[in-house]
Amino acid sequence: MEEVAAVSPIYGGIHCDRLEGDGLQCPCPTRDHPGTPILHTVKFLHGLGRFTPAHFQPPAEIIDDHYPFVLTTGHILQHWDTGSMTRCVNGLKSWPRKSGWR
């Protein structure tokens, strides 16, 4: 964590011995800083976010008697993107089977 704090000071107060219990939330710039449980309570540091509405676009093919299926991609919380990297982690590989997910 010393190396991380050297390039990103908001992590300066995060050390292994302080992560016991409830842990810490960033930013936590110094060893005696309590962490920041709620970020942006007074103002946003870089201004407000810019939202752009997405307009509905109907599917190119609709369901009919010949093809009565809707296919969509799935997502498992513990796996990033396609799982090409995270599915190699034994702890994450076993999670879905233990909880009943298939």
Residue 81 in any domain: the answer is yes
Residue 4 in any domain: the answer is yes
Residue 57 in any domain: the answer is no
Q: What is the largest CA-CA distance in the chain?
A: 66
Residue 78 in any domain: the answer is yes
How would residue 98 be classed by pLDDT, with cut points 50, 70 and 90? very low
How far, in Å, CA of 98 to CA of 102, rounded?
10
Q: Which residue has the higher pLDDT, 59 or 3?
A: 3
Residue 7 in any domain: the answer is yes
Q: Which domain holds residue 16?
A: 1-36
What's the pLDDT score for residue 93? 64
Model confidence pLDDT, tens digit, residues 34-62? 998 888 888 777 777 778 888 988 888 88
pTM of the predicted structure, to 2 decimals: 0.42
Helix (H), strand (E) at residue 4: helix 2-7
User: How many domains does the chain contain in total?
Assistant: 2
